[in-house]
Structure 1
Amino acid sequence: MKLHLIGEISSVAEGLKLVMGNVNFQLSHDGHPVHVKNQNGPIRVANKNGYGEISFEKTIHFFRALGLWMEHFQDETEFDVTEEPQFEMSGVMLDASRNAVPTVPEVENLLRRMAVMGLDTLMLYTEDTYEVKEHPYFGYMRGRYTFEELKALDEYAEKLGVEMIPCIQTLGHLKEALKWNYAAAFRDTDDILLVDEPKTYEFLENCIKAATEPFKTKRIHIGMDETFQLGLGKYLQQHGYENHIDLMNRHLQEVVSITEKHGLKPMIWSDMYFPLFAEDSKYKDETGKIPEDLIAQVPDVELVYWNYYSKDQEIYEKEIKNHQLLGKTPIFAGGAWTWNGIAPNYGKAIVTTEAGIAACKKEGVKEVFVTMWGDNGAETPFATSLPILQLFAEHTYHQDVTPEQVSKRFEFCGDGHFADFMILKKLDETPGVMKDNMNTSMTSKVLLYQDVLIGLYDENICGLSLGEHYEKLVPELEKAKQNNSAWGDLFGFYEQLARVLSVKAEIGITLKDAYEKKDYEQMKSILIKLDEIQTNVDLLRQKHRKVWFAAYKPFGWEVIDIRYGGVITRIDSVKYRINEWLDGRITSLEELEEKRLRHDGPWEIVDGLVGGNVYHRIVTAGNFSL
């Protein structure tokens, strides 16, 4: 469609060129006239008497408004719509540290989609995946971003009204960064820095400078979450035991002094201060307040309250109020649940988002963002997060949001059908799993990687007919692939995963049953199925590889290749063992003589399946790497 934009477009002119493909329009003097006003107040889009209007305050509001105008114009000749932003900042955190490092073009693609949705902030979570020239082993062979790449992304984002904020770690979650010998002098445990060590702060100043110099913003997220072993490694040996709150405060003050030196405004994850909030907290006085002298010891940083686990709005409200005991309203971080395993957990993502965002609106939280983690290999393509980003976006501009509203907007902003994307949750939300998969069963990951002959999870899935479940899922995903041409490769990957699991899910149970009955004909037929599984797993690997290399740098794919290769190669050995038994060269298959037990950890068992697990605990009961 041709548009003739009249009025105040100088501030958005460069961004307009970037989003033309997303919004599907061209600028032309003979196009439909739309008057653009940059003014305080809500977003307004209208079309009356053959004449359009767009009113916006911030640059990001213009791009959302442009999309809204185009969307309404497709269906109506006359309309007048206003939207009131609910938050001062609403954005995205994209994990670039768990194997998958998105390419610059793919981040630019995300930025364009965010702009049309109206999300105004992007944080790239980089533990060691940014270049620190003083430390060449920092991020070595991990796909780290160069200064030039980050600067280019920041300039691209600015044209769209998106602020890019560097997000790093300055205490824990640094296992990959600290594994090299250069870090020996300032390593407390394998993933935590050594507090009070001068070399720690020399290292951190190098990191902070490298992470922030490509960006125009003065804001920086310096992490510091989940440091449960703080002070319990080398620090303990050198100084003895010290309370972790005291260590946190002292270390944080040192890091803040570095950020102040460079004119930066830091934020941290707030979870290591949660002991202050406990009902039986020894830090509270008799009135339930945190003493002023203790509050004064907490350095001046913004606190980010992350929670994407509860569907209870009151829990979020309570925790927000707890943060306010420290004298400040927190930033809120929800989750898209892209880290469940191989498939997204949309059920949990939606119910936790609804509860968390409702609490934020009620308690006056001004800044929110949605996290897109990639735990244990980043096997779930981050593009699957887009429906949840759309949900966040709609909550950013409306007090109340309906599923129909999110679905309609996603069709325009995400080039896909919301209902079809929701089918993906069925890969993990299977028979035996509670509604919305609140206990994060990663059924598809477990069943793909678990060993056919060892069957660590076979006892958990007995009687659930999961093979039949996945068999029925294949045509659903095939239809979704046909319905979503922009996402054909993504749905093709998941269709193939369902196809693999339709046969592999219960093959171990069938194998053990045939062995115990000495059913030689059944065992021979299982050999044919194993050939089929091998072929289909390799095809799955190829489809996954295509999706990966369309979005990510190559570093990290070697891990996924090895995982797929493990499935394929182990099946080869399983066939060898079965043939040895069938041919009488061995009298028993010891793996099948073992009584099957329910999987008992290390993660919680729920709903007949496994709540969550990591690759090396799925594939063997032995030591995978030690």
Structure 2
Amino acid sequence: MLDNQSRITLWQTEPAALLYAQMLQGCLREYAGLEVPFTRGKPRAGDAVLTVDTALPQNRYTLSIMPECITLKAGSDEALCNGVQTLCQYIEQHGAVLPALEIEDWPDLANRGYYQDCSRGRVPKLDYLKQVADILCRYKINQWQLYIEHTYLFRDLSEAWREDTPLTAQEIMELDDYCAARHIELVPSLSTFGHMYRILSTKTCCDLCELPDSEKIPFSYTYAGNHHTLNVSNPDALGFVKGLIDEYRPLFRSSKFNICDDETFDLGKGRSKALAEEQSERSLYLSHVKALCEYLVAQGVTPQFWGDIMWRFPESCAELPKETICLNWGYLPHQRENEIRDIAASGITQYACPGVCGWNRWMPLMYNSYLNIRTMCHHAHKYNAIGLLNTDWGDYGHVNDPRLTIPGVLYGAAFGWNAEPVEFDELNEAVSRLYYGDTTGQFAGLMAKLQDYEVFDWRNTVNWIECDEKTRA
């Protein structure tokens, strides 16, 4: 099929397609033993042709592998990138002798995201983050969020990050550039209400914390995770988080911003108690979220927030700007549809947000993750959610090796692209062959069985270490 006269030919493509030609060239070198140069211009017989055909829908590509040539046509540059990933997967499986085929492919969900915790444990280096971006591109995940509480180098918050190795503005901008070339939208995500432990426990910012003297309590995973909500009754609180947003948001191309605002456990229980009794906890929560959403919309930015609090009063969604997106999460294997159904009924736009089920575990619950992602994807389609955001949280220090959650990430990629049910064993066989290079197709399935041998998980370990002697006895 391809020989020493063949070329990877770019025909009527954007300049960015050079990167996809390089990806294909590297794949042919590694898996087929062929050194195929690339060029630009009118293709010849025997070439591997990458071309944009505007007659196709923008999200669609066709791939034809015939004895005389390989032809990949796409409706847009992004679809061309996705098509190259499919072609590379065939080369990885078959080497230089590819099966003859013709396929037409497109995603079921336009927004297919991955959410990575970079705050509650290890802070990844830029080189590693670029490796993650390569994985996301290979499996057609087109949105990515890094969860930041304090692990970005805010210029005036050295008390919060000085014991960590925070991501810098230069690193974020470089990563954003790297992602954009691979059609991954790097969406900024920042805690602006709950889960602000490191910031609100500093001498500089402790007065903004809901609980008085909270900064004097020694660190523990359980206390840090369950407390440190912003005191929204403080007149300086809203301006403070707006300042954080103003410093962080310009680093990104994305026109979206996730303000988080989940798990505000302390709201109305400390410094804002009197105001909560006067106005209600609902009013306090909604007022802060609405103000931030309106602030972003006024700048042409689409706000996102986690939906666990708002689901208690979904009718209040109508008070938020119409551009707002609710990130509706739920992590049970057979997660009920109530939350997504009720938010859909409120009229607000939403993503369905399942998870890789690795938090608080030595070994991720891979079968739970598979069921959860499949179920949430079903809910997404039933209630017209516009995307899937697959979460990878790091509660209690992100103890598990991040490589162990890769199968869960790929389950999200699979169901985000194609909502048709695929059995667990079949999906694990594909993950084994495509990601791990296991020709037997057994590795991921065997890996999934390891969860059955964890008898004392990390959550129980932390609770045992951090509880008092009386409770432990």
- TM interval, short-chain normalised: 0.7 to 0.9
Cα distance 1:299–1:68, how it changes in 2: closer, same or farther (>3 A)? closer
* Map of 2:435 onto structure 1: 414
Q: Which residue number in structure 2 is paired with residue 28 of structure 1? A: 37
- Which of 4-13 and 87-96 deviates more? 4-13
Identify the match of residue 420 of structure 2 among 385, 400, 412: 400
Who is 2:232 aligned against?
Answer: 195
Contact 1:342 1:444 in 2 (8 A): no
**CA separation in 2, counterparts of 1:21 and 1:308?**
40
From 219, 244, 269, give the equivalent of 2:306.
Answer: 269
Shift of 1:325: 2.2
Which residue identity lines up with residue 218 of structure 1 in the other structure? Answer: S
Corresponding residue number in structure 1 for 2:180? 158
Q: Which amino acid aligns with 2:255?
A: K
Offset, 1:143? 2.0
Which of 138, 150, 153 pairs up with 1:131?
A: 153
What is the CA deviation profile of residues 125-146 of structure 1, one whole-angstrom value per residue up to 9, with x for unaligned ones?
1111112113222322222110
- The structural deviation recorded for 1:328 is 2.1
Unaligned runs of 5+ in 2: 30-34, 212-226
TM-score between both structures, scaled by the size of structure 1:
0.64
Letter in 2 for 1:309: L
1:307 to 323, 330, 333: 330
The answer as to 2:14 corresponding to 1:10 is yes
Check whether the contact 1:60–1:115 (CA below 8 A) recurs between aligned residues: no
Question: Equivalent residue of 2:272, what SS?
Answer: helix
Q: Whole-Å Cα distance in 1 between the matches of residues 206 and 275 of structure 2?
A: 14
Which one of 464, 468, 472 corresponds to residue 617 of structure 1?
464
Which of 278, 296, 316 lines up with 1:259 in the alignment?
A: 296
Residue 62 of structure 2: aligned partner: 44
Pairing 1:358-507 to 2, within 5 Å after superposition: 358-403=378-423, 406-407=427-428, 409-411=430-432, 413-417=434-438, 419-430=442-453, 443-445=455-457
Q: Which residue of 2 aligns with 1:106?
A: 128
For the residues of structure 1 that align with 2:247 and 2:143, how far apart are their CA atoms? Answer: 20
For the 8 Å contact 2:192–2:261, the answer to whether it is kept is: yes
Change (3 A) 1:295 1:333: closer
Q: Which residue identity lines up with residue 322 of structure 1 in the other structure? A: D
Identify if the C-alpha distance between structure 1 residues 613 and 367 changes in structure 2 by more than 3 Å, giving closer, same or farther: same
* Alignment correspondent of 1:230: 267
Matching residue's letter, 2:378: A
Aligned 8 A contact 2:122 2:398 in 1: yes
8 Å contact kept, 2:354–2:373? yes
Task: Call closer, same or farther: CA 1:295–1:258 in 2, change over 3 Å.
Answer: closer
Which residue matches 1:473?
Answer: none
SS at match of 2:469: coil
> Is the contact between residue 360 and residue 396 of structure 2 (CA under 8 Å) also seen in structure 1?
no
Question: Cα 1:57–1:89, aligned 2, differ >3 Å: closer, same or farther?
Answer: farther
Which region of structure 1 is more displaced relative to structure 2, 107-116 or 134-143?
A: 134-143
Aligned to 2:205: 183
Cα 1:270/1:22, change in 2 over 3 Å: farther
The residue aligned with 1:55 is 73
Q: Is the 8 A contact 2:62 2:83 kept in 1?
A: yes
1:349 to 369, 372, 376: 369
What is the CA-CA distance between 1:6 and the residue it aligns to?
Answer: 3.0
More helix by share: 1
Aligned position for 1:570: none
Report if aligned partners of 2:263, 2:309 keep a CA contact under 8 Å in 1. yes
Distance 1:180 1:14, change over 3 A: farther
For residues 138 and 317 of structure 2, what CA distance do their matches in structure 1 show? 41
Q: Deviations over 1:72-131 (max 9, x none)?
A: 352633111222310111010111011111111111111111111111011011111112
CA RMSD of aligned residues (A): 2.8
Q: CA 1:620 to 1:196, structure 2 compared with 1: closer, same or farther past 3 Å? A: closer
Contact kept, 8 Å, 1:46 with 1:81, in 2: the verdict is yes
In structure 2, what is the equivalent of residue 519 of structure 1? none
CA 1:408 to 1:14, structure 2 compared with 1: closer, same or farther past 3 Å? farther
1:37-83 Cα offsets, whole Å, 9 max, x none, are 32333222111132111122354433332132233352633111222
Counterpart in the other structure of 1:460: none
Write out aligned runs for 1:523-538 (5 A).
Answer: none
**In the alignment, which of 121, 125, 128 is matched to residue 143 of structure 2?**
121
SS in 1 for 2:191: coil
SS state of the match for residue 92, structure 1?
strand
2:48 maps to a residue whose letter is V
Runs (4+) off by over 6 Å: none
Paired with 2:182 and 2:267, the residues of 1 have a C-alpha distance of 40
Count of equivalent residues:
430
Distance 1:14 1:180, change over 3 A: farther
Determine the C-alpha separation between the residues in 2 that align with 1:416 and 1:177: 43
Indicate conservation of the 8 Å contact 1:346/1:422, yes or no: no
Amino acid at match of 1:5: T
Aligned residue number for residue 479 of structure 1: none
The 1-side partners of 2:37 and 2:9 are apart by 8
Distance, in Å, in 2 between the alignment partners of 1:197 and 1:13 is 51
Paired residues of 1:270 and 1:305 also in contact (CA < 8 A): yes
**Distance in 2, Cα, partners of 1:196 & 1:18:** 55
Q: Is the 8 A contact 2:267 2:281 kept in 1?
A: yes
SS in 2 for 1:119: coil
Give the 3-state SS of the residue equivalent to 1:182 in structure 2. coil
CA distance in 1, matches of 2:142, 2:130: 14
CA apart distance, 1:335 = 0.3
Q: Distance in 2 between matches of 1:395 and 1:22?
A: 27
- Structure 2 CA distance for aligned equivalents of residues 178 and 623 of structure 1: 30
**3-state SS of the aligned residue for 1:129?**
coil
Asked whether the 8 Å contact 2:294–2:321 carries over to 1, the reply is: no
Larger radius of gyration: 1
TM-score, length-normalised on structure 2?
Answer: 0.83
2:159 matches 1:147: no
* Identity of matched residues, %: 16
Q: CA 1:362 to 1:240, structure 2 compared with 1: closer, same or farther past 3 Å? A: closer
Counterpart pick for 1:249 among 263, 268, 286: 286
- Compute the displacement of 1:238 (Å): 6.9
CA distance in 1, matches of 2:36, 2:429: 25
Tell me how far apart the structure 1 counterparts of residues 302 and 232 of structure 2 sit (CA, whole Å): 21
Question: Using the alignment, how far apart are the partners of 2:25 and 2:464 within structure 1?
Answer: 44
Match status 1:168 vs 2:190: yes
Structure 1 counterpart of 2:327, one-letter code: V
The 1:89–1:351 alpha-carbon spacing in structure 2 relative to 1, beyond 3 Å, is same
Provide the rounded CA distance (Å) in 2 between the counterparts of 1:183 and 1:201: 13
**In 1: Cα distance, 2:450 partner to 2:430 partner:** 25
The equivalent residue for 2:220 is none
